[in-house]
Amino acid sequence: MVAIVDSGSTKSDWVILDDFKQVFLKTETIGFNPNFISKELIVPEIKKNTSLTSVKNSIRKIYFYGSGCGVQQNCDTIIEELGKVFTDAEIIVKEDLTAAAYAAYRGKPAIVCILGTGSNSCYFDGVNIKIQLPSLGFLVGDEGSGSAIGKQLVRRFFMQKLPEDLSNEFEKTYNLTVDEALKNMYHTTRPNAYLADFNKFVVERKNHPYLQQMVHEEMLNFFDYQVIPYKESKNAEINFIGSIAYYYEDILRAAAAELNLNVGQIVQKPIESLVSYHIQYVL
């Protein structure tokens, strides 16, 4: 059996293929981004999933694509921890941008972007992936991402920038205190996922003019920092992977049009396309 894993900062999608390249199992775990989760939590989280533990001795190869895995040390951490559960498997770890490039590939070169809990971009010509810009994480980077939009919402609420109607609704929805917010942002293992969770509030009210403008500004920031520096952005199709791109598609496309950029396909969950790519090109 072969496992294909797409791991973000919030959750991981697992697909297990049998020896005939047929889907045997689909399941989920939390996201295993080594920048945010303690490595000691990885094995216990996998063992909570009885579907995975029931087939762990039959898996011979794991293709793991994860956020935070653009650094070799983090790749080694994932290999080490997965190896404690899947003891007979060869484990191949690459960063989530590689998964996005594979999942969004439509036979021609394109800029591929991730807009989920975090954000990132690359250029994929069908063979080679060019990563021109670093991923700086939610504290400094991740423009346009769920954590960036959530950060904007929380900041504007506490700094009394939200219109009265949105401020009242936010307070009623979350009953959030400054102390509680600071605790979750600075003293928990997954602060980026905590901030990204506030997108539920924004998505439910995304037609509100104030929130539309707020999200539009974040999308412009994303294009400015993570797309326009690629010289290929003037002509190449720009494809997106991730829930934030999916939920704010209309705002994203409007921001791109303002900058004369060509947005192609937007895929909410890349795992299905990623599996198809492996069946066709890898396995």
CATH number at residue 112: 3.30.420.40
90-95 and 61-66 strand pairing:
parallel
For residue 281, is it within any domain? Answer: no
Residues 186 and 145 in one domain: yes
Q: In the prediction, which pLDDT does 96 show? A: 86
What's the mean pLDDT in 141-157?
94
Q: Which of 100, 131, 149 is the last residue of a domain?
A: 100
Average pLDDT for residues 173-188, to the nearest whole number? Answer: 91
Backbone angles phi, psi at 36, to 5 degrees: -125, -25
Asked if 250 and 207 sit in the same domain, the reply is yes
Q: Same domain for 132 and 166?
A: yes
pLDDT in the model for residue 37: 87
pLDDT band at 15 (very low <50, low <70, confident <90, very high): very high
pLDDT over 80 (residue 217): yes
| Res. 140: pLDDT tops 80 | no
Identify whether residues 138 and 183 lie together within a single domain: yes
Which strands sit side by side in the sheet containing 263-267, from one edge to the other? Answer: 129-130, 119-124, 110-115, 237-241, 263-267
Q: Which amino acid is at 58?
A: S
**Residues linked to residue 2 through DSSP beta bridges, in sequence order:** 17, 61
Tokens of 205: 């009210």
Q: Residue 272 has what pLDDT?
A: 86
Which segments of the chain are extended strands (E)?
2-7, 11-17, 23-30, 61-66, 90-95, 110-115, 119-124, 129-130, 237-241, 263-267
Q: Could you tell me the residue range of the domain that residue 26 belongs to?
A: 2-100
Q: Whole-model pTM?
A: 0.79
Instruction: Say if residue 91 is in the same domain as residue 171.
Output: no
> Same structural domain for residues 211 and 250?
yes
- Residues 6+ away with beta carbon under 8 Å from 123: 109, 110, 111, 112, 129, 130, 132, 230, 232, 236
Q: Does 88 share its domain with 116?
A: no
